[in-house]
A and B are shown apart, each in its own frame.
Chain A
Amino acid sequence: MSSAVLQVEGLHKAFGGVQAVADVSFAVAAGEMLALIGPNGAGKSTCFNMLNGQLSPDAGIVRLEGRDIVGLRPRAIWRLGVGRTFQITATFASLSVRENVQMALYSHTGRLRSLLQRFGAAFRPEADALLEQVGMLDQAERVCGVLAYGDLKRVELAIALANQPRLLLMDEPTAGMAPKERVALMELTAQVARARNIAVLFTEHDMDVVFSQADRIIVLDRGQLIAGGTPEEVRSNPNVRAVYLGSVH
């Protein structure tokens, strides 16, 4: 796959004696929504944290547009064009919604070091355009600390889009949201990803979201990939059924 934005080969990670992730390989293409699913403890978060620089793998290669990013810090990976949202939202609570997005824009353009300029002045239209896209423009002046959880998720998406990423990593993007909001958020993500040709990798527990929004699905169980393919293929895969419904020996 030459068009792969993210390419993962033979990823390994063990904690003590526990093999959390073993020989995981997959790729995500531009404009594609790839869902990483699996039961609790399957190794999804470990896998994710090795891609975004929080954890370093014991073995394996992670390539972003052909470039090996293993060993880079999260902030360096962001600079290479990877946007992130967190399982538990992480925004700047004392800053307004608009300022949160402006912060990412300032950082992207390397202009945060200025001591005398007024922060609010620059990147206003750009920030508002992003907020418009995620439907948060009407709350731009509100402080993030008082927002509803679903709205924070949208703000995170706007922040993640600020550096014009090639890849979005979304860890449980809809955790803690109402069912209706979940599908809406991921529909929005899919729409943006296709329009901007961004590759999206997300983990998710809500199977309605996964099967309605993902282009492809890969399934992790006890650290190993046990299946992969289109939603239809994965749905009918006996291994996956065994993992999720309990195997019949």
Chain B
Amino acid sequence: MTLSSILIQLLNGLAAASSLFLVSAGLSLIFGVTRIVNFAHGSLYMLGLYGAYSLIELFGRTPLGFWSAVVLAALAVGLVGVLIELAVLRRIYRAPELFQLLATFAIVLIIKDIALFTWGAEDLVGPRAPGLSMAVEILGKRVPAYDLLLIVIGPLVLAAIWLLLTRTRWGALVRAATQDREMVGALGVDQAKLFTSVFFVGAVLAGLGGALQIPREPANLELDLAVIADAFVVTVVGGLGSIGGAFLAAVIIGVAKAFCIGIGSVTWFGVEISFSKLTLVVEFLIMALVLVVRPYGLLGKPQAAQRVAAEPAPPFTVPSWTFALVWLALLIVVPWVTDRYAAILLTDIVCFALFSVSLHFIMGPAGMVSFGHAAYFGIGAYAAGLLLKRVGLPMEAALLIAPLVAGAFAIVYGWFCVRLSGVYLAMLTLAFAQISWSIVFQWDSVTGGSNGVFGVWPSPWLADKTVYYYLALTLCGAGIAFLWRVMFSPFGYALRAGRDSPLRAEAIGIDLRRFQWAAFVLVGALAGLAGAVYAFSKGSISPSTISIAQSTDGLVMVLLGGVETLTGPVVGAAIFTWLRDVVARNTEFWRAVIGLVILLIVLLFPQGLVGGLKALAMRWRERHA
């Protein structure tokens, strides 16, 4: 590489870093004050981009039209942020982190469908910035003038936020609340107003980040999750709640990615490595390195303790044998007496039941919230498909080895994950899942890219849908029974103990991280089994099996049934799978429906259906006792 091409990549990276910084700064600011990780921040970015596109069309492609469209779009997104805060988040500031994350994810789904309804599914390519469409010559290379402007805007916004935080009363309140939100409340500050205003500012930053990208990238519906994954990495690297950290991390990651793209393909020792496809891997490596050296990010601090003590989770009640046998008998008889369709739906349900029970195991008893559980489900599915199609193993062998592959990935991912807790952990699991997804998506020659893998059919003796259902029921049922058994074993109790009090666990000689790591691998392998069984039931695998949406589906299943019950995740998986089947057949906007269901659970049934029904039954019994 020559000096000039290095400079070009540096400028490219800095230009990309500006928008990344704006989104991450907004995310960080909101988190600092409200302790909510706003999943919908990528969606606000997307809205900014779409909004700017429409407004420019309206105002005309003049400098005045362009810039007033950018500013108005950012402000409009700010108002959307206020609306979200008032309608949803205000009600859940005291809820567990998991519910807050899920609620904001529900907003992601709803915004996605609103954007689909408003702007359609096609990518929308915006205009170049009027008056800035020329290029500037630097060291013999041409650099778009607009990129140079973006490079300047990043530090300017950083300076503006810094002034706002250090020179105004509002800024003083924000800093105080970031350090100790309860104390600020106790001192008589109107928290509601403060939170709303912080949400407005954070949302404006996200909207501005999106709107400014209009000359550089087309508006599309995939941006929300792509941007939020990037922003998560940036905030984790920089340190949650630190604006300066967000800037530093955005620059590091923006520049590193630009260099990867700039290097392109390189042949080392006869092996061709395409760096331009490794951008996410590089991001991940940076993050991994930072987390090992500084678990709270480059400029972050350990999270302040919250004084609101959580209620201890009640012990699980074990269902009786008769209860279990009746259900098992029903599951065996139903496909026998009904049609082929029932067997297909039931196969889906048992796969997702194992998926959701394995997720419940890690988030309930082990206390580690995972937003990327689909990684293992998807890796299991892909491993099964690739072992069959590419390696040529018999289907039975592929089905049994696939979980081990998923477990092997869980060994690597888990090693990092058990070092973190709370929202940091949730964001890291999500980042790993997103990385797995992008490898699958980009590695066309092996995984089939966006098309996936086809012809993943079971052996002839399992070709019949009902026979395959019995296999799925046996394998997934055994997996669920095994996990339930482990929950009541010394190993399961050690995990619960570590969740309740890491301090005490350490003081009685328990090496908690090893237990958590082992649990990670265990549930990873079983989620992989669910994925493998699922893959052979469908005959094809698409990248959606490994997507963030698949991960959150799992969370919805667990919460729908109730995280504090043993059987809840199974019930949740059944209802959710059936519901999605029905809704997806009747409307194009099924995501928004799922989103509304999530909001309904979070706001009205925080204990889930099984938990809620149990509470009702208990109240009824007390009244009639």
Contact = CB atoms under 8 A, between A and B. Distances in A.
A146 B312 CA distance: 9
Contacts of A90: 501, 503-504, 507
A163 B509 contact: yes
A111 B490 contact: yes
Interface size class of B (residues with CB under 8 A): 20 to 34
B509 A79 contact: yes
A92 B490 contact: no
A52 B311 CA distance: 29
B507 A115 contact: no
Interface in A88-127: 90-96, 99, 103-104, 106-108, 111-120, 122
B510 A92 contact: no
B510 A94 contact: no
B490 A95 contact: no
A111 B511 CA distance: 13
Given A115-B489, A116-B485, A116-B489, A92 B509 contact: no
B490 A145 contact: no
A168 to B, nearest CB: 12
Contacts of A95: 315, 493, 496-497, 500
A162 B493 contact: no
Given A95-B497, A143-B315, A113 B510 contact: no
B503 A115 contact: no
A75 B486 contact: no
B488 interface: yes
A84 B507 contact: yes
A202 interface: no
A118 B497 CA distance: 15
A143 B500 CA distance: 12
B513 to A, nearest CB: 11
B361 to A, nearest CB: 12
A95 B314 CA distance: 9
A56 B260 CA distance: 42
A162 B508 contact: yes
Nearest to B503: A90
Nearest to A123: B490
A239 to B, nearest CB: 34
B583 interface: no
Contact of B489 (A76, A114, A145): A114
Contact of B488 (A73, A78, A119, A162): A119
Interface of A: 52, 73-76, 78-79, 84, 86, 90-96, 99, 103-104, 106-108, 111-120, 122, 143-146, 159, 162-163
30 contacts: A78-B509, A79-B509, A86-B504, A91-B501, A91-B504, A92-B496, A92-B497, A92-B500, A94-B312, A94-B315, A94-B499, A94-B500, A95-B496, A95-B497, A103-B493, A103-B497, A103-B508, A104-B508, A111-B490, A112-B491, A113-B490, A113-B491, A115-B489, A119-B489, A119-B492, A119-B493, A122-B490, A143-B314, A144-B312, A163-B508
